[in-house]
Amino acid sequence: MSESAPAEQSRFVLQTVGFDARFPNTNQTRNCFQNYTDYFKCIAAKGEDFAPCKQFQRAYNSLCPNEWIAKFDEQRENGTFPASLEP
């Protein structure tokens, strides 16, 4: 291995989402959906550069399968997303 490999690996910090008392059970489907909607509500209210919104994004990226995120994105674009994203 090259000597730069450890330096490359140290740039990325892998973390899981912390405990959320609203979702105490092992099934995290609602947690995934709630963080997804909270992120888009947050950026609608505060803008994409608002740092606390990034926590919701990190949470849904950690909890939701990529297929779900793609489907949610497609539904938002088509106007068929099942939740209101207005702040």
User: In the predicted model, is pLDDT for residue 21 greater than 70?
Assistant: yes
What does the DSSP 8-state code read for residue 74? H
Q: What is the pLDDT of residue 5?
A: 54
Q: Mean pLDDT across the stretch 5-22?
A: 67
Q: Which stretches does DSSP call E strand in the chain? A: none
pTM of the model: 0.74
* CA atoms of 45 and 14, how far apart (whole Å): 28
- pLDDT of residue 1 exceeding 50, the answer is no
Token duo for residue 33: 């959906």
When comparing pLDDT for 29 and 11, which is higher?
A: 29
User: Cβ distance 72 to 65 under 8 Å?
Assistant: no
Question: Which among 84, 31, 36 has a CA at the least distance from the CA of 56?
Answer: 36
Q: Which whole number is the average pLDDT over 24-45?
A: 90
Instruction: Give me 57's structure tokens.
Output: 């994004």
Name the residue among 65, 40, 63, 66 with its Cα closest to residue 53. 40
Over the stretch 35-60, which tens digit does the pLDDT of each residue have? 999 999 999 999 988 999 999 999 99
